[in-house]
Chains A and B, each alone.
Chain A
Amino acid sequence: MGIKYKVNRLETTNEIRPLVDKHWEELRTAKDRGEKVAWASGPTFIFAYAMGMKCHFMAGYSAYCGGIGAGEEVLKVAEMTGDLPESCSYHRLHMGMAEAVARDIPINPQAILPMPDLMVAGRLCPEMSHYAEGLNRRFGIRVLPVDLPSVYNIEDAPRIREFVYRQFKETVIPTVEDVCGKPFDYDRMSEILSVLKKVATLRNQCWEYFKEKPSRWTLWDYGVSIAPVFYMMGNPAGITYYEKLLKELQDRKKNNIPAIAPDGEKYRLYWDGWLPWAFLGKFMRKFTPHGAVCICGRYPWEFFPNPELIDPENPVESWADLYYGNGQLIHHFSPRGTVDLIGNLIEDYSIDGLLMFSSKTCRIMNLSQPDIIDTLDKKYGVPGVIVEGDMIDPAMISDSQIETRLEALYEMIDSRRK
């Protein structure tokens, strides 16, 4: 008789939902308090935060919508108002939500945000510009666009870093000053980075418990804990959260409690691409009976893996450097950077197999995935499969396709163990 695997749930992660709900609640009610509201895409919201604006984050809002089960109804509004199903589902979510508000179409009230005073459109991918352009055309929302090129060749990074830094100084800061009617608050930006540095340092200590065999927690646990290292940055509640999480992981180690009962995981997997926010449970139910667990991934590792590089004393320079300078975060969006990153993760976290999630509507992390699998397989002997789907849109998810690919991956791992 086979082993009956089940997930040992962490207690601390139960505390993230109230924090996240509070964050979005404060954003929803900001205008009632006379506060300015911004929407942001790419890593640009920190400039709005520094000015005391309440700010949304494109992927964060989409994750939240998916997490509260509102994705499907908002996507339906987008389709009804003209968007094509092949367009980026994050793009469609925002157009759908804005149209629902404008046309008074009832949707889950928790999914509704106030229309912004400013859209900070960080063009990490072109779609992050397209949705801002669309909202401007339809609703006249003021747009602050910032071009944020992903860097394919690392030697191109220095000149792109200068370009991005100049946009921060010459366009972003003057515009938020204009919208808020006050000088840019460099001190507040420094404070935000100080808190972020502490949270990311604690988070890295938690990452150490992924390295253990058996792992003490799952990538999905970390996935739901991402907000404090990103759109909740600067909120000291993030420090308390990660201190508690670290303590729980330490206790698990002390008491030899694995993430997967009874004795730990059979397959340690790497997850590539966006986390499938609306389908985390669905995927978990497909992993666990096989003793499979996702340990690490590209998107979740994007959030300041090197907190020692965060320099609160020079906030704007540091922000540019984290992405384009010594931090090189932007390089991980290109296939070359991806190969380097995954290679390191395979070794650091003893990965058995690669699960490459290919979103049918967002290609930012899909690029060259079959070739990346082949490169890594040849170098590390670790097999991989591609699973097609979407972050939010249930119409793009096929259970049988996912199961077939996962079974193929498990079989490949097994055959190489013999």
Chain B
Amino acid sequence: MKNVLSKITDIVSDPYAFVGSVREQTGKKVIGCFPMHVPEELVHAAGMLPVVIWRSNEAVTWGHAHVPAYDCGITRSFVDDAVRGKLPFMDGMVFHVRQCLQAGEFPYIMERNVKPAYQKNLYLPALYPGEAIKDFTITELDVFKTSLEEFSGNKITDEKLKESFEIYNLNRSLLERVYEIRREKPEILKAKEMMQIVWSSMLMPKEDHNKILTELISKMEAKEVIPDKTRIRVIPVGGLCQTIQPDILDLIEDLGMIIPDDDLYVGSRYFANKVSLDGDPIDALAKRYLTKSPLCPTKGVWDIHWGDEAIKKMNDNNARGIISIMIKYCPPHACYYPDFKSKMDKEGINEIMIQVEHEIISLESVKTRLQTFVEILGGV
């Protein structure tokens, strides 16, 4: 198990070198897909390597000549990486420009300063009622498919697309199995290791990741873990679009809490919902996008409540509290949060929100808040 985790740590420690090396070895074009809703399966079916765009571990420097300091971490960090020339292996970039306003920063900055060989903007709609929404989603996916075919020179047949669905669905099933084992034996993985496992799925060819996961699962199943009943179970919620600083996840655990499950983007949200293999494949991709749960505040959903989903997850895992992790300057999360908080108060759920930034933050203040929280939960 240690060896598999070590391999994963190597990959996420330097995603630039890793993705570049895969490109070199496979000869495949690399397409950076901005999180969270670009359907990677289409890129895969075109014979290219989709990778989910990531936040670097360096402070933003040149990027601030292009975007303000009050944009979110991944926006500033990705622009910084791009204009500093750190992404020469990225042949193409795809942005869902309707996800939030900041996603609209990229198209002009990239085409002017970086000039990737392929650049595509998606206008996926909010999940509003009406046939027009469904039809437009299908239209957008069709347009995306055609542009990928033109760039790659490969026809995306229904068969190829369904093959990609199978590979991606398998990855989702395997990640779900990893989560299932963690739910049974939360001590088996540290929270940051779990995040790295999901993150590596965003960077690796899914076929390779499936092999790694298969090996990891067999080791996890075989491993015996002594349960630590003193630890307080909590569920982290949020972390939209980007990785959380590992130090923060460590801090949660160092303070006597344990994470049996999560509702994070670089976590359970990434692999939620499979694509149906029945019927027209573009319709199936549209159906997955149009699925309302897990609720994403970028999608314009109000007839189900994010708070209800989080409480269910908390109860299903016998957890005692929820830690909202909000990325600083994430308007969809910030606008939703007051209602999330109200729901927690109304239902008598212990919840705390911590805001995280791209740059090194004051861990001391986060620690104080989390210490208070764990005391409220009855620990320490």
Contacts and interface: CB of A to CB of B under 8 A. Distances in A.
Interface of A: 81-84, 86-88, 91, 95, 123, 125-127, 129-134, 136-138, 143, 145-147, 149-153, 156, 159-160, 163, 166-167, 170-171, 334-336, 358, 360, 362-364, 366-368, 370-372, 375, 386, 388
B68 interface: yes
B249 to A, nearest CB: 23
Nearest to B128: A145
Interface of B: 65-68, 70-71, 97-102, 104-105, 107-109, 112-113, 121, 123, 125-126, 128-133, 135-136, 139, 143, 297-298, 300-302, 305, 328-329, 331-332, 334-339, 341-342
Given A363-B102, A371-B66, A123 B112 contact: no
Contact of A367 (B101, B131, B298, B328): B101
B108 A160 contact: no
Contacts of B123: 149, 151, 156, 160
A40 to B, nearest CB: 15
B101 A126 contact: yes
A170 B130 contact: yes
A388 B98 CA distance: 24
A376 B65 CA distance: 16
B221 to A, nearest CB: 42
Contacts of A170: 130-132
B129 A126 contact: no
A388 B10 CA distance: 41
Given A82-B341, A153-B121, A368-B108, A88 B133 contact: no
Contacts of B328: 86
A86 B332 contact: no
B335 A131 contact: yes
11 contacts: A86-B334, A123-B128, A123-B300, A126-B99, A130-B336, A133-B301, A152-B104, A170-B131, A334-B108, A360-B70, A367-B101
A117 to B, nearest CB: 17
Nearest to A164: B132
Given A130-B332, A136-B302, A147-B125, A171 B130 contact: yes
B361 to A, nearest CB: 15
A82 B342 contact: yes
B132 A167 contact: yes
A134 B101 contact: no
Contacts of A131: 335
B300 A368 contact: no
B206 to A, nearest CB: 29
Contacts of A127: 101, 331, 335
Given A134-B338, A147-B133, A171-B128, 11 more contacts: A82-B338, A86-B331, A91-B335, A136-B302, A137-B302, A143-B302, A152-B104, A156-B123, A163-B125, A370-B67, A371-B66
B302 A88 contact: no
- 4 smallest CB-CB distances across A and B, nearest first, come from A82-B338, A335-B108, A130-B335, A166-B132
B132 A372 contact: no
Contacts of B105: 363, 367-368
A123 B107 contact: no
Given A166-B132, A363-B71, A370 B66 contact: yes
Given A163-B132, A368-B66, A84 B108 contact: no
B60 to A, nearest CB: 13
Contacts of A152: 97, 104, 107-108, 121
Contacts of B338: 81-84, 95, 134
A87 B331 contact: yes
A86 B130 contact: no
Given A126-B101, A152-B97, A388-B68, A147 B126 contact: yes
Contacts of A167: 128, 130, 132-133
Contact of A87 (B71, B113, B335): B335
B136 A163 contact: yes
B302 A133 contact: yes
Given A335-B108, A371-B112, A138 B331 contact: no
B128 A146 contact: yes
B88 to A, nearest CB: 20
A360 B72 CA distance: 12
A367 B125 contact: no
A259 to B, nearest CB: 31
A335 B136 CA distance: 24
A156 B147 CA distance: 13
Nearest to B328: A86
Query: Among the interface residues B99, B104, B109, which one has the most CB atoms of the partner chain A within 10 A?
Result: B104
A217 to B, nearest CB: 32
A126 B68 contact: no
A382 B128 CA distance: 43
A165 B300 CA distance: 20
Nearest to A374: B112
A13 B118 CA distance: 50
A386 to B, nearest CB: 8
Contacts of B297: 130
Query: Among the interface residues A83, A134, A147, which one has the most CB atoms of the partner chain B within 10 A?
Result: A147
B113 to A, nearest CB: 7
A37 to B, nearest CB: 20
B66 A126 contact: no
